[in-house]
Amino acid sequence: MLLLALLACLLLLALIAAAHGAVAIPLHALPRLLLAHDLTEQEQLWRNVLVQIRLPRVALAIVAGGGLTVTGTAMQALFRNPLAEPGLIGIASGGALGAVAAIVLGAPGLFWLTPAAFIGSLAATALCYQLGQRRPGMSSLLLAGVAINVICGSIIGLFTYVADDAQLRSLTFWNMGSLAGATWTQLAFLGPWTLALSLLLLREWRALNALLLGEREAQHLGFALNPLRRRLIVLVALIVGPLVAATGVIGFVGLVVPHLVRLSLGADHRWLLPNTLVAGAIALSLADWLARVVVIPAELPIGIVTSLIGGPFFLWILTRRVA
Amino acid sequence: MLRAENLCCGRHGVAVLRGVSLTLQPGQLLGVLGANGAGKSTLLATLAGELPAMSGSLTLHNQPLSQMRPAAQARCRGVLPQSPSLAFELPVRAVVGTGAYPFPEVSPAQLEHLIDRALVLADASHLASRRYTALSGGEQQRIQFARVLTQVLAHRAAGDYRALLLDEPTASLDPKHQWLLLQTVAQLARDEGLAVLVILHDVNLAAQWCDQLLLLAGGSVVAHGPPDAVLTPAAMMSVYGMAAQVVMHPVDARRRMVCFVG
C-alpha cells in the first residue's frame, strides 16, 4: 500500500519538477507538448526545454535516487551498521578521484570523465574488498573502506590544491554532485542497468533479513557468507559506480532515506527494499527540483541540497520518535 | 545423521578439543557439560559448520560436512547460538519466520501455521505483537528458540532427520522457562524424532532431561554416557574442580542429584 502511495507521489513530483524551473511551463500544457504536432513558437520552446533538459534530468534524479538508496539499504544490512551507505567501501570517493584526476591531469575533453570516474570507483571498491578479505568478518572491510575513503579524499585535496580556476569549477561538480548533465543517451543505458541490478538486489531480501540476526545466524540459515558478501558488494558497486560517474558524489540520500523508510515500515527487507527504491527516487527528485528553483536562474549543487535539507529533517524525525 | 569421529576442533589453528566421537541420534538429547573455556561452544560451532574440523571426521548423512553447501546443511540442522542480537527492528513474527528461509517451498499459509506453532512451543505467543528490541533478554532468547524450532520443524516429513544444536539455551531464562524449554525439546525429540545437542551449565537440569551426557575437561572428553553413569563425584571434580555429592532426589527416588559442596 505504501509502495503505491509512494509511486503516485513520485509521478506527481516528476510532473511538477518537469514543469517548474527557470522557464515555467504550465502543467496543463504537458500532454499537448509531448503529443501534439501543431505547436506555437512558444510551445515549441517549452517542448525543447521539457524534452531536452527537464525530463532527462528528472529521469536521472529518479534513477540515481533509487539506485543510491536501495544500495544504501543493502549496505546497512550487510554491515549491520546504521551508518553504512553506498560510498562506505570507496565507490563514491574512488569515482570522484578518477574524475578529478582526469580533470587536473588534463584529459582531452569531458568524454574521458565518465570512464575515469567509473574505473576509479570500481578500482577503489576492488581494493577495499581485497584488503577486507585478509581477516574474517566485516570489520576489516569496513576499516579498509574508511582508510581508502580518507586516502582518496586527501589525493582529491591535493589535486584541488594544484588545480587552476577553470578546473576548480569542474571539481566542485564531482565533490557536490549535479544532475545538470543528464542526456537521453546516458539514460538509455543507466535506466535499464540500474533497474535490472536493483531487481537482482531486491531478490536478496531473505539473505539481508538473515544478516540482521547476525552473520553466524545467517550461515545457520543456509547462506554461504563469503559468496553472499561478494554478490552484494558486486551488485552495489555495479549500481553505484555508473551513477557516480554520471552525477558525481551525491551524499546523504543513500544514508538517510533507508532509515526514514525503516522507521515507518520496519526492517523486513521484503518490503523495505522496494519502498526505499521509490522513496530514494522521490527524495532526489525533490532535492534536484529545489536545487533548480531556489536561486533561479542559477542553481545549487544537489549534494548541498540533500545534506542541507536531509540532515535537519533526519534529526527532526529522530527527536520526534523519542518524544 | 550428524556424526563426529575422533574430531579435533579449535579456532585460528589452535586446537581446543581433541578426540571427540559422538552421534546425534534421532529422538535423543545429548547434553554437553564443561567448565568455562572447556571447548563446548567451539564443539558446537564445528558441528554447526562454522569452523572446519581440524582433524578427524565430521559427517552429515555419511557426507563430510565441509563438502556440503550451507543451504543443504540448513535443511537438516538448526542452531541456536548464544547472545542473540538484531541490527534493525524486525517484527517478532518475521524473526521467527526466518527459520523457514531454507525451505522456499513452504507456502505463506503453512509458514503462518509454523510460526504460530513455534511461538506456542516456546511459550512466546503473547510476545508476537511486541517490538523485538523492546523485549527482555530472556524473552528475546525465547523468540530465537521459536525461530530455530521453525527451522527444524519446517517442511518435515515423517522420518526426516533434523538436528538441533542449542548453546546454553537456558542462560537468560527464569527457572520455569528453563524447565519448559527442556521439556519442549525433550517432547519434540520424542514425538518428532529430533536429534538434539544442548550445552548446559546446570548439572541437575541436564541430568533430568538428557538421555546422554558428554563431559569435557582439559581439552578432551572425560565421560560420555547416560546421566546416572557419568555424574559421579570424581567426574565433577575433574570437570569443575569442585567436590560434589550425588544424592537421591527428594521427590523422585529414581533420580540422582548432584550437590556441590565446595
Distance CA(B257)–CA(B233), nearest Å, equals 11
* Mean pLDDT value of segment A14-19: 88
Residues whose CB falls within 8 Å of the CB of residue B48, separated by 6 or more in sequence, listed in order = A216, A219, A220, B77, B79, B81, B165
Strands B29-34, B195-199: parallel, antiparallel or unpaired by DSSP? parallel
Query: Which of residues A107 and B42 earns the better pLDDT score?
Result: B42
Q: Is B260 helix (H, G, I), strand (E, B) or coil?
A: strand
**Residue B183 in this model has a pLDDT that exceeds 90:** yes
Residues whose CB falls within 8 Å of the CB of residue A32, separated by 6 or more in sequence, listed in order = A39, A43
User: What fold does the segment set A2-33+40-322 form as a domain?
Assistant: ABC transporter involved in vitamin B12 uptake, BtuC (1.10.3470)
Query: Which of residues A175 and B173 earns the better pLDDT score?
Result: B173
Q: How many residues does chain B have?
A: 262
* pLDDT tens sequence across A39-89: 888 888 888 888 888 899 999 999 999 999 999 999 999 988 888 888 888
Residues 89-118 of B with CB under 8 A from A: 89-91, 94-95, 98-99, 101-102
Q: Given this model, what pLDDT does residue A322 score?
A: 53
Name the residue among B232, B199, B239 with its Cα closest to residue B217.
Answer: B239
* pLDDT tens sequence across B117-132: 999 999 999 999 988 9
CB contact under 8 A, B87 and A224: no
**Residue B116 in this model has a pLDDT that exceeds 90:** yes
* Mean pLDDT value of segment A167-180: 79
Dihedral sign computed on CA atoms, order B201, B206, B211, B215? positive
Q: Is B178 helix (H, G, I), strand (E, B) or coil?
A: helix
Distances (CA, A) of B171 to A25, B198, B219, B241, B242: 68, 12, 23, 21, 21
Instruction: Report all structural domains of chain B as residue ranges with CATH numbers, in order of start.
Output: 2-225 (3.40.50.300)
Residues whose CB falls within 8 Å of the CB of residue A71, separated by 6 or more in sequence, listed in order = A86, A201, A235, A236, A239, A240, A254
Domain boundaries, chain A: 2-33+40-322
Mean of pLDDT over chain B: 92
Confidence bin at B175 (pLDDT 50/70/90) = very high
Where would I find the beta strands (DSSP E) of chain A?
none
* Mean pLDDT value of segment A5-22: 89
Which residue has 578521484 as its cell numbers?
A97
Q: Given this model, what pLDDT does residue A109 score?
A: 60
Distance CA(B207)–CA(B244), nearest Å, equals 15
CB contact under 8 A, B90 and A216: no
Peptide bond into A115 cis (omega under 30): no
Interface probe for B, chosen from A203, A220, A268, A272 (most Cβ of B below 10 Å), is A220
Confidence bin at B260 (pLDDT 50/70/90) = very high
Q: Given this model, what pLDDT does residue A24 score?
A: 82
Q: Which set of grid coordinates corresponds to residue A22? A: 527557470
Nearest Cβ partner of B98 from A76, A210, A216? Answer: A210
Q: Which of A225-229, A233-237, A288-292, B115-119 holds the top average pLDDT?
A: B115-119
Confidence bin at A257 (pLDDT 50/70/90) = very high
**Residue A213 in this model has a pLDDT that exceeds 70:** yes
Q: How many helices (H) and strands (E) does chain A have?
A: 15, 0
Q: Which residue type, as a one-letter code, is found at position A183?
A: T
- The phi-psi region of residue A147 (left if phi > 0; otherwise alpha if psi is between -120 and 50; otherwise beta) is alpha
* Mean pLDDT value of segment A216-244: 92
Q: Which set of grid coordinates corresponds to residue A47? A: 517542448
CB contact under 8 A, A262 and B89: yes
- DSSP-assigned states of every residue in B35-98: -TTSSHHHHHHHHTTSS--SEEEEEETTEEGGGS-HHHHHTTEEEE-SS---SS--BHHHHHHG
Which stretch of A14-18, A227-231, A300-304, B209-213 has the lowest confidence by average pLDDT? A300-304
Distance CA(A114)–CA(A93), nearest Å, equals 14
Q: Which set of grid coordinates corresponds to residue A186? A: 546516458
- The phi-psi region of residue B20 (left if phi > 0; otherwise alpha if psi is between -120 and 50; otherwise beta) is beta
Distance CA(A248)–CA(A238), nearest Å, equals 15
Which residue has 531464562 as its cell numbers?
B173
Q: Is A311 on the interface with B (CB under 8 A)?
A: no
Q: If residue B223 lies in a helix (H) or strand (E), which one and from where to where?
A: strand B220-225
Residues whose CB falls within 8 Å of the CB of residue A233, separated by 6 or more in sequence, listed in order = A78, A89, A125, A129
Q: Given this model, what pLDDT does residue A18 score?
A: 86
Distance CA(A123)–CA(A112), nearest Å, equals 16
Q: Given this model, what pLDDT does residue A34 score?
A: 81
Distances (CA, A) of B217 to B33, B169, B223, B227: 9, 21, 9, 17
To the nearest whole Å, the CA of A302 is away from the closest chain B CA by 29
Q: Given this model, what pLDDT does residue A1 score?
A: 78
Q: Which residue type, as a one-letter code, is found at position B216?
A: L
**Residue A323 in this model has a pLDDT that exceeds 50:** no
Confidence bin at A295 (pLDDT 50/70/90) = confident
Q: Is A306 helix (H, G, I), strand (E, B) or coil?
A: helix
Confidence bin at A33 (pLDDT 50/70/90) = confident
Q: Which residue type, as a one-letter code, is found at position A86?
A: P
Distance CA(A242)–CA(A30), nearest Å, equals 30
- DSSP-assigned states of every residue in A76-107: HHHTT-TT--GGGGSHHHHHHHHHHHHHHTT-
Residues 69-98 of A with CB under 8 A from B: 76-77, 80-82
Nearest Cβ partner of A216 from B71, B81, B102? Answer: B81
To the nearest whole Å, the CA of B87 is away from the closest chain A CA by 5
Compute chain A's Rg from CA coordinates. 20
Q: Given this model, what pLDDT does residue A107 score?
A: 66
To the nearest whole Å, the CA of A262 is away from the closest chain B CA by 8
* pLDDT tens sequence across A121-153: 889 988 988 888 777 777 888 889 999 999 998
Name the residue among A148, A200, A223, A91 with its Cα closest to residue B73.
Answer: A223
Q: Which long-range contacts (CB under 8 A, 24 or more apart) does A154-157 make?
A: A155/A97, A155/A101, A156/A93, A156/A96, A156/A97, A156/A100
Q: Given this model, what pLDDT does residue A278 score?
A: 96
Distance CA(B120)–CA(B145), nearest Å, equals 11
Distance CA(A175)–CA(A160), nearest Å, equals 11
Residues whose CB falls within 8 Å of the CB of residue A59, separated by 6 or more in sequence, listed in order = A182, A187, A191
Percentage of chain A exceeding pLDDT 90: 37
To the nearest whole Å, the CA of B262 is away from the closest chain A CA by 37
Q: Given this model, what pLDDT does residue A19 score?
A: 84
Q: Is B76 on the interface with A (CB under 8 A)?
A: no
Burial of A193 (0-12, 13-18, 19+ CB in 10 A): middle
Nearest Cβ partner of A221 from B86, B89, B98? Answer: B98
Percentage of chain B exceeding pLDDT 90: 82
Distance CA(A178)–CA(A182), nearest Å, equals 9
Percentage of chain B exceeding pLDDT 70: 100
Residues 45-74 of B with CB under 8 A from A: 45, 48-50, 69-74
To the nearest whole Å, the CA of B100 is away from the closest chain A CA by 8
